[in-house]
Amino acid sequence: MKKLIAVLAAMIMVLLCAAVTAENAAEAIPASDALQMFNSEWVDAEGSIKIYPEEDHWRVYVRSGNGAVEWDYCCRYDGEQKALVTINDSENTKDIITVNDEGSEINRSTVYTDGSAVFILNENGKLTWKDEKEDVGSGRTFEKIGWFQGTWDAFVEDGPWYELNCFWDIEEAAEGEVYSGYKVEIERYDGEEYTHWVYSCTYNPESNILSSLFGTKEYAEKEGEPIATVYDDGAAEFAFDDEGCILWKDAIENAGEGLLFTVSNG
């Protein structure tokens, strides 16, 4: 009898373990979906949102365009809603930030630590922010722009140094231009020679690639010399490799061959 009970107990434990494993496997699918859906920087005309996974939760930073207000949320992925929902009610903060003329933070004061919010994609794939504390996200939708923003460096051993600056351009397009999206500027320093490429790009969230609509190249033989336009019909693409470095595919003269741009400003 004791042997039979022991066998039954073992069978029950196996079934329980199998159920837990199946449950964990089921949860892994929406977690993967969430990575594809949310892991990115997002922008609208009034500010930006950065979303990325941490060890056991999702981190969501919302910042006003002038950098004066910042919301910091700790979230979980809700598979039924396909949304990020706040957890840890005492760790969801709103801060007021004071910066100096150079844009550096000099003071930060916390307004509250019990924020509550839901982040979900609408039918057009735009991110919506339902702020359940003050409703400041009402009516706003954010566009996915990947992780290209920032300053990136590439070095050639015993050769030139390249700096790539990438930022989302939310200003109105100049007359005759039809783009809205990223600006990519690349500066090349080789002794006294200076070369400057500028691209206006669109972002494809499916491929995670920037593709240029406009591109120019400028050159000066030495510092202080006039900068001359080499061409104004440049074309390029920018993508990430498996290590998170930016690759520059220049369609005009293959100037980006062999270069790996690593982020320099975090």
For the segment 69-125, what is each residue's pLDDT rounded down to a tens digit? Answer: 999 999 999 999 999 999 987 889 999 999 888 777 889 999 999 999 999 999 999
- Residue 84 tokens, joined: 């990020």
Best-predicted range by mean pLDDT (95-104, 203-212, 219-228): 203-212
158 lies in the same domain as 132: no
Residue 8, pLDDT > 90, answer no
What per-residue confidence (pLDDT) applies to 138? 93
Q: Assess whether 136 and 167 both reside in one domain.
A: no
CB 93 within 8 A of CB 83: no
Pair 110, 179 in one domain: no
> 40 pLDDT exceeds 60?
yes
Residue 165 belongs to a domain? yes
81 lies in a domain? yes
The mean per-residue pLDDT over the stretch 43-54 comes to: 93
Percent of the chain with pLDDT over 70: 83
Q: Looking at the predicted structure, is the pLDDT value of residue 9 above 60?
A: no
Average pLDDT, rounded, for the chain: 85
pLDDT number for residue 265 = 60
CA distance 238 to 261: 10
pLDDT band per the 50, 70, 90 thresholds, residue 258: very high
Instruction: Judge if 127 and 168 occupy the same domain.
Output: no
Q: Which domain holds residue 76?
A: 38-146
Query: Which of these, 203, 49, 69, 36, lies nearest to 141 by C-alpha position?
Result: 49
Residue 26 inside a domain? The answer is no
Domain count, the chain: 2
Higher pLDDT: 179 or 110? It is: 110
In this structure, the answer to whether residues 106 and 169 fall within a common structural domain is: no
By DSSP bridging, strand 181-190 and strand 161-169 are: antiparallel
Does one domain contain both 165 and 234?
yes
Provide the β-strand partners of residue 194: 189, 220
35/162: higher pLDDT: 162
Check residue 87 and give its pLDDT. 94
What is the mean predicted confidence (pLDDT) over 9-32? 40
**Secondary element (H or E) of residue 42:** strand 40-44
**Domain final position from 91, 117, 146:** 146
Q: Is the pLDDT of residue 198 over 80?
A: yes
Q: Same structural domain for residues 258 and 167?
A: yes
Last residue of a domain, one of 120, 146, 172: 146
Considering only residues 247 and 12, tell me which one the structure prediction assigns the higher pLDDT.
Answer: 247
Task: Mark whether 166 and 87 lie in a shared domain.
Answer: no
Neighbours of 139 (CB within 10 A): 8
In a domain, 88, yes or no: yes
pTM of this prediction exceeds 0.95: no
Residues 42, 125 within the same domain: yes
16: pLDDT strictly greater than 70: no
Per the domain annotation, does 65 fall within a domain? yes
d(CA 214, CA 94): 39
pLDDT of 174: 52
One domain, residues 64 and 110: yes
Contacts (Cβ under 8 Å, ≥6 apart) of 266: 150
pLDDT at 43 over 60: yes
Q: Within this chain, do residues 177 and 223 fall inside the same structural domain, yes or no? A: yes
| pLDDT the model gives residue 171 | 57
Of 123, 146, 169, which residue is a domain's last?
146
Instruction: Tell me: do 174 and 256 sit in the same domain.
Output: yes
